Structure 1
Amino acid sequence: MSIAVSDQVKENSALLRLDLNDTANALRVLSDAYVIPPDPTKKSGRYTNSGVLDADGNFVIQSISWSNSTEQVNSAPATPAPEEVEQLKGRYIFGGVLYGHFGHFIVESLARLWAQDAEGVDAEAYIFTAKVSTFPQKSVEKLQKLAALLGLRLPIIVARVPTQVETLYVPAQGFGMNDLIEGSAAFRTFMNTHAGAGIEPTGDEKIYISRSKLPSDRGSLLGEYKLEEYLAAEGYDIFHPQRFPAEEQIARYKAARQIIAVDCSPLHMLGYVGHKDQSAAIILRRSMVIGDYLARQLQSFKGMDAYSIDCLLDDWILQPGSRPSRSSWGEIDFGALHAKLLASGHIQNPTPWPSLTQEERSAELERIEKMHEAKFRSYNEIKVIRNKSII
């Protein structure tokens, strides 16, 4: 790991730049180290003071979790008072931050699974700090089952209070979002060896991973129903992964040869369990670079053909927001999408797809505003107003 200075955490520690190729500093073995969860009296959020301190109270840089190679999620916590500390005998692997959100869990919470196969590691469980102190045990058990399908062989425990561990292995994060999306060699090898092992491929050769039946707070495409109609006519099965157990999701992703999806978390799962003979088309649903990153994961982990397709005309932003997010809705040019899917070989019918009519577009906007009980605003309009205010 190479050192880089950060204004964000100068008061706590020097910020380190995560280098996924730095194998020499990827794992530390500590005696009597402290695993410190976020302070339950502080307002919960993504950025916390938590992680691992060594026996002398020094922050262990391998315990940092990262949004990208330069943005820390957690910074050095305070050394706990002796009366606050629980003792834990045995050998454990530090797992990082435990997230309940599916995408953050399979990307960030599982990013240290590679340590199970590291030379000299002999542990009895993973110990995590939860994003929030109220993280329910039932959720831990549910995530344990999902992680087991992706290669986890050890139980998960959560440090609810500062915990001093007799022997603690602290691996660096081996995977993540943004510029960490290709993963370390150790993480890729681990996932390609263990994820989905023993689950036989079952299902259609063409699938569209749909968002049309997700909870109302998750964004998608205006007129996704129309895209589903077009793709069903091309022989695609419209797949709603949240309605199936994880075993079946994996089986379906293994069986498919052609996959189309809007940018979404299930594509990370495909990156773990898919194979090189697949071809994936990722349709951008928001003005972000996430499609390119998802394509890079599929390419680097599996060597599959993967394409990010941008046909966005606008983003519709849930108010009072001002930027695309997981709750925004993309408005796309269906004709341009058809042309790009035809060129990539994902569809065959040369007849262009009509975009939404003005009436259909208005009905969609009315539908999502009613669903959210809030207004949506055009991102193009927001940018115009912002630029005028700057000028």
Structure 2
Amino acid sequence: MGVEDLVRWERATPPAEIEMNVGIRDVDNAVLSPFAVRAEGRRRKLRGAVYTAAGTLVEESLRLSGPGGLVVEDNPRSLPPEDLGRDMVHLRGTWLYGGHWMPEFGHFITETVTRLWPDPRPVAGVVYHRFVGTEAIKPWQTTLITRAGWGAAQTLVNTGWARVDHLVVPSRTVFLSSMVHPTAVRQWERMSPNAHTAGEPVFLSRSRLTSDPRRTRTDPLLDREFAARGFRVFHPQEHPVDEQIRVASQAPVLAGAVGSALHLSAFASPDCRTIELGDIRTRDRPHRPQRAIDAACGRLTAHVPYYEQDGARDISSTSHALDAIMKSS
């Protein structure tokens, strides 16, 4: 079996078919339990959720990961009276619950902004639970929140006990590594500039990310291979996030290694195709979160395995695979 039989365009399918009921729950005198995380083997168990005034868990607030997830929710289904009687921060008025404030770019695109799918409305603010990592608010996150329609509202990343007069809790629209609901796709479309004029194919390069543990010493050669095939070699970290989204939205083909940058395909045209280059994590199989995004958007995709030679990406085999893909267009 040759490369041509292994590497070709295929219609993306979701890693798992999961029933997702999307809606909004209004909770009066809601209680936010604090962020906490503990290790259990390779897994980390996460706490931090919304509860009713009587202490009952609001299931819509949970972060649910797909099969094999390494960070899983571990919230009790009810709170004891002593927790409900604690001194808490009081958030007055109506707030929107924004889920978890993800510190990583790809997770912010897939998990945080997709929780903000309700039509923007006047609220006192949007409150999030902290996630593993820092709760610091970075400029690129503020930009994405603004594009999602909630830039005018106060942003609060909560870490302790809090009580909210009235909390609007939208359900999740992404089941990580498994499935993306059409509501999430509409949210990404709302955030896209809708300037889907045909631009040039784009390769999202890692060659200048010298601290990236998944970068290999042959990545600069990979830039040349894509440039020779008419791709614009784009280094996302060197551009504002607005420009990253604009470039992705106009690309007829978006290529890149497995990871956060390729999640920019969420903002691409419906006709855009994606080429995913495997890395040391996904040597011969598509990355589940990326596959979920592309399936929800109805994309044709191609996965190039991680061909390795002397501890780095084998450029010759990768080049052969790219030729097979481009010939099959």
TM-score, normalised with respect to structure 1: 0.68
Q: Does 1:255 align with 2:254?
A: no
Amino acid across the alignment from 1:205 = E
Q: Does 1:189 align with 2:183?
A: no
Query: What is the match of residue 343 of structure 1?
Result: 324
Contact 1:18 1:69 in 2 (8 A): no
List 4+ stretches of structure 1 deviating above 4 A.
17-20, 69-72, 200-204
Quote the sequence identity (%).
21
Question: In the aligned structure 2, how far is the partner of 1:109 from the partner of 1:311?
Answer: 30
Query: What is the match of residue 35 of structure 2?
Result: 38
SS in structure 2 at match of 1:235: coil
Q: Does 1:279 align with 2:299?
A: no
Amino acid across the alignment from 2:317 = A
Measured after TM superposition, the shift of residue 243 of structure 1 is 0.6
Higher relative contact order (CA 8 A, sep 6+): 2
Q: Does 1:238 align with 2:236?
A: no
SS in structure 1 at match of 2:178: helix
Measured after TM superposition, the shift of residue 284 of structure 1 is 0.4
Question: In the aligned structure 2, how far is the partner of 1:94 from the partner of 1:215?
Answer: 37
Measured after TM superposition, the shift of residue 19 of structure 1 is 4.5
Question: In the aligned structure 1, how far is the partner of 2:47 from the partner of 2:101?
Answer: 14
Question: In the aligned structure 2, how far is the partner of 1:18 from the partner of 1:157?
Answer: 33
Amino acid across the alignment from 1:157 = L
Contact 2:28 2:165 in 1 (8 A): yes
Query: What is the match of residue 8 of structure 2?
Result: none
SS in structure 1 at match of 2:265: helix
Question: In the aligned structure 2, how far is the partner of 1:315 from the partner of 1:86?
Answer: 56
What does 1:150-161 align with in structure 2 at a 5 Å threshold? 150-153=148-151, 154-161=153-160
Measured after TM superposition, the shift of residue 222 of structure 1 is 4.2
- Residues 156 and 179 of structure 1: CA distance in aligned 2, closer, same or farther (over 3 Å): same
Contact 2:251 2:269 in 1 (8 A): no
The match for 1:116 among 82, 102, 119 is: 119
Amino acid across the alignment from 2:276 = I
Query: What is the match of residue 59 of structure 1?
Result: 57
- Residues 206 and 185 of structure 1: CA distance in aligned 2, closer, same or farther (over 3 Å): closer
From the two aligned structures, give the one with the greater helix fraction.
1
SS in structure 1 at match of 2:35: coil
Question: In the aligned structure 2, how far is the partner of 1:294 from the partner of 1:315?
Answer: 28
**Which is higher, the Rg of structure 1 or of structure 2?**
1
Query: What is the match of residue 353 of structure 1?
Result: none
Question: In the aligned structure 1, how far is the partner of 2:72 from the partner of 2:50?
Answer: 13
Unaligned ranges ≥5, structure 1: 1-16, 317-330, 349-391
- Residues 264 and 343 of structure 1: CA distance in aligned 2, closer, same or farther (over 3 Å): same
Equivalent pairs, count: 303
Amino acid across the alignment from 1:161 = G
Amino acid across the alignment from 1:172 = S
Contact 2:65 2:176 in 1 (8 A): yes
SS in structure 1 at match of 2:287: helix
Measured after TM superposition, the shift of residue 274 of structure 1 is 0.5
Question: In the aligned structure 2, how far is the partner of 1:22 from the partner of 1:134?
Answer: 30
CA deviations over 1:360-390 (Å, ceiling 9, x no partner):
xxxxxxxxxxxxxxxxxxxxxxxxxxxxxxx
Amino acid across the alignment from 2:293 = Q
- Residues 315 and 150 of structure 1: CA distance in aligned 2, closer, same or farther (over 3 Å): farther
- Residues 347 and 337 of structure 1: CA distance in aligned 2, closer, same or farther (over 3 Å): farther
Question: In the aligned structure 1, how far is the partner of 2:111 from the partner of 2:33?
Answer: 18
What does 1:1-391 align with in structure 2 at a 5 Å threshold? 19-23=18-22, 26-39=23-36, 47-68=45-66, 73-76=72-75, 80=83, 82-116=85-119, 123-131=123-131, 135-136=135-136, 139=137, 142-153=140-151, 154-180=153-179, 183-192=180-189, 194-197=190-193, 200=195, 205-271=200-266, 273-288=267-282, 289-291=285-287, 293-301=289-297, 303-313=298-308, 331-345=312-326
Unaligned ranges ≥5, structure 2: 1-15
Question: In the aligned structure 2, how far is the partner of 1:34 from the partner of 1:140?
Answer: 26
CA deviations over 1:329-356 (Å, ceiling 9, x no partner):
xx444343223322222799xxxxxxxx
Measured after TM superposition, the shift of residue 314 of structure 1 is 7.2
Measured after TM superposition, the shift of residue 53 of structure 1 is 1.3
Question: In the aligned structure 1, how far is the partner of 2:310 from the partner of 2:85?
Answer: 52
Question: In the aligned structure 2, how far is the partner of 1:59 from the partner of 1:339?
Answer: 53
Question: In the aligned structure 2, how far is the partner of 1:218 from the partner of 1:333?
Answer: 17
Task: Note the aligned Cα RMSD (angstroms).
Answer: 3.3
Amino acid across the alignment from 1:278 = C
Measured after TM superposition, the shift of residue 290 of structure 1 is 4.5
